[in-house]
Structure 1
């Protein structure tokens, strides 16, 4: 797997600022031709670094609702199911899973009674051990590729993926691995999971 260089990081930074920026404009800023930028973006997509291009909509300008930050402490084994449910909820804008297994999300809830909306959206009694709701006054979202060392993490062991790493498409998704052994273990576990589903 090829390493990402400073030009790749600058392309990512420029796309983060404006995903509609033309390859010609990016090329002028990084001293490459538009086709060379296109090739690099295609490679970043293939590596799974760029998943999609999207629009950052300020929903507060489009509809009313109560902006909240919600933390759900969940019973063991329910995180994936509750996460999938929340991902499908139109009101949820950002969804995070903490290292301790809590789900934290930002939403613009259509019902001023946030707990009622949560009860209707989730089976609170069976899945959620504790709920913390904070009303928000303002939300700023500014993702950045700068400020930290950039490195891909192995999908199996979370070690840094170097130039000796491998990339594989498994179940329709692209994964990065630090070595062929990690890819093999991940693939075997994935196939066992698929068989049991």
Structure 2
């Protein structure tokens, strides 16, 4: 075998290795961009880390028809991120709800600054495994909220606790679920995202 043939084979192998490395790098880059939405989807589907579920009106009607007689206490918690000039609190700290029945909780937010502020709420549920059963039908946390200087608004959450909680042996001793929200400044203000 001649030296030129060996050099040509080496060049092809190096080119192939370089292409594989570039394809692998592109794959890893794509995986990096997909990680956050995939993790979010995983949390929403499984209730992992206390992520609550989003339910439709039909889902809520089916849950109410299940006829579970047990009640559970729901505790409402609120906070604001550092640098968020809002007062944010639940209108009622705890409430006893019948499993499967829709209920409504309200929070009050006040913009204490002299400028319009757009915020977005993050949320979770404790204990974390309850996130799979805590169903939100409507929530101010689904959209960004804009408050004008000094403005005060009440923000509702329409929810129910899924009757399937009764079949989960790990939830048998749970007597209270805590729903927590934290308001943060939104990165990009929206034109009309205020809760009504």
Pairwise TM-score range, normalised by the shorter structure? under 0.3
Structure whose CA Rg is larger: 2
TM-score normalised over the length of structure 1 = 0.25
**Which structure has greater strand proportion?**
2
TM-score normalised over the length of structure 2 = 0.25
Q: Which has the higher contact order (CA 8 A, sep 6+)?
A: 2
